[in-house]
Amino acid sequence: MKDRIEDIIKKVSQFSADNQSEIEKFRIQFLGKKGIIPELFKEFKNLPPAEKKVTGILLNELKKLVQDKVDLSKKKLADKRKFSINLDLTLPASQIIIGSRHPISMVRREIIDIFSKLGFTISQGPEIEDDWHVFSALNFPPEHPARDMQDTFFISKDPDILLRTHTSSVQVRVMETTSPPIRTISPGRVFRNEVISARSHCIFHQIEGLYVDENVSFADLKQTLEFFAKEYFGEETKIRLRPSFFPFTEPSGEMDVSCSCKGRGCKLCKYTGWLEVLGCGMVDPNVLSECNIDPSKYTGFAFGLGIERIALLKYHINDIRLYFENDVRFLNQFTGII
């Protein structure tokens, strides 16, 4: 019986099948109720005790070998079917879909890179702020309309806790903890209680800049902003400064840049030839005093621009709501732009 089992093992080792029916026929031949292996086990019961040990090992080895052959043959057949799909290897590969950054993120990075060339560092601050950093330290009087619910989101019964309405609050924190010279920009998200429309939103992004040192003048401010305008909008860009008012700067101004229509007039610039991009001015001495900086020794300038506004101008987008709706049709237009 031992020799017979060894011969069967050799035959089983050579088995191979190309289809499911051959595999099933092989399984029934050896493992079926009336198959070879069950019959061998019946004969095994009548062997002398001295032969049972060696024969039993061979018989178990045969049974395992048959089962492994069945399992392996089924796996090979399944793999063969899996990869037997007709493929034309000469066809071009499927196009790889390239993602992109959000237009707000791209514009934010470009602006930061420009001011980094001038030595401005990046400062961050909390979006949930207190009245002192958002209003009081920036020379907002108690009766200023920006403190009202119409403009500001107060998030608790305590009127001292609110969502910041500008990133100037970060500048206050920097001045409180840093001695001049200070040269920093503060990018971030801000919140105002405004009606959402094509031209405004209750959430938007700002980058505000601050430079405080001895003998800082309005000429330094103009030179800085002119450098930014030419770097971002092109070397031929011209700037125009108009008088304005902000509680935390004096004198204050708003900066326009020449439109890409070169003065001919278009819908983008409302046929004026100019586009408003930011507000600016010299830091009010009261603000410096509130932040423990000596206004008799130091002066400074500040500016602030809305990232959405700049992106609207750059990409000729006519609805600010598109930035927040995650409409794939809109975002796909920026695919591949780095």
pLDDT tens, residue by residue, 143-161: 877 777 668 888 877 778 9
Q: What is the DSSP letter of 154?
A: B
Three-state secondary structure along 148-200? Answer: CCCCCCECCCCCCEEECCCCHHHHHHHHHHCCCCEEEEEEEEEECCCCCCCCC
- The confidence score (pLDDT) of residue 224 equals 96
pTM, two decimal places = 0.68
Q: Are 143 and 170 in contact (CB under 8 A)?
A: no
Decide which of 314 and 111 is more confident: 111
- The confidence score (pLDDT) of residue 254 equals 94
Cα separation of 309 and 284, whole Å? 26
Q: Are 275 and 313 in contact (CB under 8 A)?
A: yes
Reported as type and span, the H/E element at residue 73 is helix 49-82
- The confidence score (pLDDT) of residue 84 equals 57
Q: What is the DSSP letter of 98?
A: P
Query: Residue 93, Cβ neighbours under 10 Å: how many?
Result: 5
Q: Which of 337, 310, 318 is nearest to 205 (CA)?
A: 310
Cα separation of 257 and 278, whole Å? 10
Q: Are 43 and 1 in contact (CB under 8 A)?
A: yes
- The confidence score (pLDDT) of residue 27 equals 80
Query: Residue 323, Cβ neighbours under 10 Å: how many?
Result: 22
Integer Rg of the chain from CA: 39
Q: Is the pLDDT of residue 337 over 70?
A: no
Q: Is 250 helix (H, G, I), strand (E, B) or coil?
A: strand
Cα separation of 304 and 188, whole Å? 11
Q: Is the pLDDT of residue 327 over 80?
A: yes
Q: What is the arithmetic mean of pLDDT over 188-214?
A: 90
Q: How confident is the model at residue 119 (pLDDT cuts 50, 70, 90)?
A: very high
Cα separation of 274 and 288, whole Å? 33
Q: What is the arithmetic mean of pLDDT over 223-238?
A: 93
Cα separation of 73 and 64, whole Å? 14
Q: Is the pLDDT of residue 336 over 80?
A: no
Three-state secondary structure along 40-62? Answer: HHHHHCCCCHHHHHHHHHHHHHH
Q: What is the arithmetic mean of pLDDT over 280-284?
A: 96
- The confidence score (pLDDT) of residue 176 equals 93
Q: Are 133 and 146 in contact (CB under 8 A)?
A: no
Least confident piece of the model among 80-84, 124-128, 143-147? 80-84
Average pLDDT of the chain, as a whole number: 86
Q: Is the pLDDT of residue 104 over 60?
A: yes
pLDDT in tens, 18-31: 788 888 888 888 77
Cα separation of 195 and 200, whole Å? 7
Share of the chain above pLDDT 70, in %: 95
Q: Which of 317, 325, 228, 319 is nearest to 277 (CA)?
A: 228
Cβ burial, residue 294 (10 Å; 0-12/13-18/19+): exposed
Q: What is the DSSP letter of 97?
A: P
Q: Is the pLDDT of residue 338 over 60?
A: no
Q: Are 189 and 166 in contact (CB under 8 A)?
A: no
pLDDT in tens, 164-182: 999 999 999 999 999 999 9
Q: How confident is the model at residue 263 (pLDDT cuts 50, 70, 90)?
A: low
Q: Is the dihedral of CA 197, 131, 121, 237 positive or negative?
A: positive
Decide which of 162 and 263 is more confident: 162
